[in-house]
Structure 1
Amino acid sequence: MNLILLFEDDFVATDRVILADRRFHHIRQVQQPALGDSLKVGLLNGEIGRGLVMAIDDRQIELAVRLERQPPRPLPLTLIMALPRPKMLKRTLQSATAMGVKQLYLINSYRVDKSFWSSPWLADGKIHEQLLLGLEQAGDTLLPQVHLRKRFKPFVEDELPAIAADSRALIAHPYQAAECPAPLDTPTTLAVGPEGGFIRYEVDKLIETGFQPIHIGERILRVENAVPVLLARLFPIF
C-alpha cells in the first residue's frame, strides 16, 4: 500500500480521520508508525497529501490530514478488453488501474466462456475492491469506470464508434498486423482480445469501426501481461 486511500465517511472533522479497518491493520503491521510520523494519504477522487499520526492503539489510528496536490494524470486511454478468466480479471483490473486507465469496457467475445459472466468477481463490490488496490499501489486517487457489455456486435456497432471517435483506435492482434506504433500522448482506444485472441469476424468488425490491428512482437503473451506491455509501448510517460 503506497497510498492510504481515504473516504468521505472516514472524516470526524474537516482535517481529521479515524481508520479501524483493513487500512488500519496494514498501517499498524507493515508501516508501524509512531506518534508524529507522517503517512502518504489521498482522498478518493480527490487530492493527495500527508496524514500526521495523532493517536494509535490496538483498534484504530487517528490522522491529521492535509491534502495539497493533484493525483497523477490519467492515461488518455479507453481500454476495451474481452472478459478474462476471473483470476486473471483481478490481476488485470489492478494493473490497468495502477497504470492510469480510467475507462474500461469488459466485453463479450466468441472465445469468452459463458460461465465467466456469472462469476462473483463481476459484482460491483468485487470490482471496486480491485480498483482500490490498484490505486493504492500506484499512489492514485481517481477511480476508474468499468462498464460491462455482454453482447459483442451491438456494442461494436452501436456504442464503439462514439467511444473511439477522434482517438487512435487500435486492436492488439498478433496476426496480419502492423508493428506497435511509436508512443504518443494522444487519446487512444485499445481493444484487447481474450486468450486465443479475437476471431476473424470480430477483428473485421473492429476494422470496419476504424480500428487498426497492431502487434508487439512474435511472442504471444497472456492478457494480464500483454496489457501492461501495450500501455508501456503506446504512451511516452512510461
Structure 2
Amino acid sequence: MNLILLEPHNVTHDGQALLHDQRRLEHLRKVHRAQPGDTLTIGCTNGLIGKAELTALEPDHAALRWAHLSEPPPPALPVHLVLALPRPRMLARTLEHVTALGVKRITLLHTKRVEKSYWQSPELRTDKIHQHLVLGLEQARDTVLPSVTLVKGFRAFLNEHLPSLLAQGRGLVAHPGMANPCPRGINEETVLFIGPEGGFIDWEVDQLLDAGCQGMHLGPRILRVETAVTALLSRLF
C-alpha cells in the first residue's frame, strides 16, 4: 500500500478522514509500522495526491489529517483493454496488475473458450472488482478508478461495442501465429484485444481482423494471460 486511497465515505470533513476497514488498519500496523504523528501518502478517489498526518491508530479505526492535496495522479495509458474473461483467480491478479500499470478502460468479454461458469464467480461482483482496482491503485500511487464493462456475448460485442471502440483508436489483436510482432513504444489511442488461455478461435480472430484490427504476436512462447497482459502493455507503451 504505497498510497492510502480515500473514498467519499472515509472523509469526515475538510482535511480529516477515518479508516475502519481491517485490511488497511493491519497494513498500517504491520507493514508501515505507523505511529500517530507519522506522515503518509494519501489520495482522494479520482482526485489529487498529497501527505497526511496519522493522528490516531486504534484497534477499530485510524484518523488522518491533511492540509492540502496538490499532486496529480500519474498519466493513464492510452489503451482500452478488451480481455477475454480469465479464470477467477487470474482475473483478480490481472485486474490489479493492469490497474497498477495505468489502464483505465477495461472490457471483460465472453469468447468461445471462456468457461461459462466463470461468469458466476464472486470475483465479478461489483464490490470484488472494486477491491482489486483499489489494490492496483494503492500499489501504483494512483487515484483514478478504471471503468470495467462486462460483455457476455461475442456476437453482441461485434455488433454493439466493436464499432465504437475502433472509433476510439487503433485495434490490435494479440494472438499466437500472427504475421507481425507486437509494436514497441507506441503513443496513440489503442484498443488491445487479448484472448483466453486457449486463445481466440479462428472465427473470432477473423471477425476482429475483418473489422479493421491488426494481428500481432509476442513470439513463439505461449504465455499465461496475466503474463501476456503485462508483457504487452510494457512493450506497447
The Cα offsets for residues 2-42 of structure 1, whole Å up to 9 and x where unpaired, read as 11111122122200112222212211221122232110111
CA RMSD of aligned residues (A): 1.2
Displacement after TM superposition at 1:55 (Å): 2.4
The answer to whether the aligner puts 1:23 opposite 2:49 as a matched pair is no
1:86 to 85, 88, 99: 88
> Gaps spanning 5+ residues in structure 1: where?
none
Q: State the identity as a percent.
A: 48
Quick check: 87-96 or 171-180, which moved more? 171-180
Q: Which residue of 1 aligns with 2:112?
A: 110
CA contact (8 A) 1:157 1:209 kept: no
The Cα offsets for residues 97-131 of structure 1, whole Å up to 9 and x where unpaired, read as 11111110011111001111111111111111111
Q: Which residue of 1 aligns with 2:51?
A: 50
The answer to whether the aligner puts 1:176 opposite 2:181 as a matched pair is no
Post-superposition, which runs of at least 4 consecutive aligned residues in structure 1 deviate over 3 A?
none
- Partners of 2:128 and 2:59 in 1: how far apart? 28
- Partners of 2:224 and 2:139 in 1: how far apart? 22
CA contact (8 A) 1:81 1:105 kept: yes
TM-score (norm 2): 0.95
2:157 to 155, 158, 167: 155
Quick check: 149-158 or 88-97, which moved more? 149-158
Check 1:158–1:18 CA distance in 2 against 1; reply closer, same or farther (3 A cut).
closer
Q: Which residue of 1 aligns with 2:60?
A: 59
Q: Which residue of 1 aligns with 2:100?
A: 98
Determine helix, strand or coil for the equivalent of 2:40: strand
TM-score (norm 1): 0.95
- Partners of 2:46 and 2:128 in 1: how far apart? 19
- Partners of 2:42 and 2:26 in 1: how far apart? 15
Displacement after TM superposition at 1:166 (Å): 4.5
Determine helix, strand or coil for the equivalent of 1:5: strand
Q: Which residue of 1 aligns with 2:225?
A: 223
- Partners of 1:176 and 1:25 in 2: how far apart? 47
The aligned amino acid for 1:24 is L
Quick check: 223-232 or 115-124, which moved more? 115-124
Quick check: 63-72 or 141-150, which moved more? 63-72
The aligned amino acid for 1:43 is C
Q: Which residue of 2 aligns with 1:5?
A: 5
Q: Which residue of 1 aligns with 2:129?
A: 127
The aligned amino acid for 2:64 is L
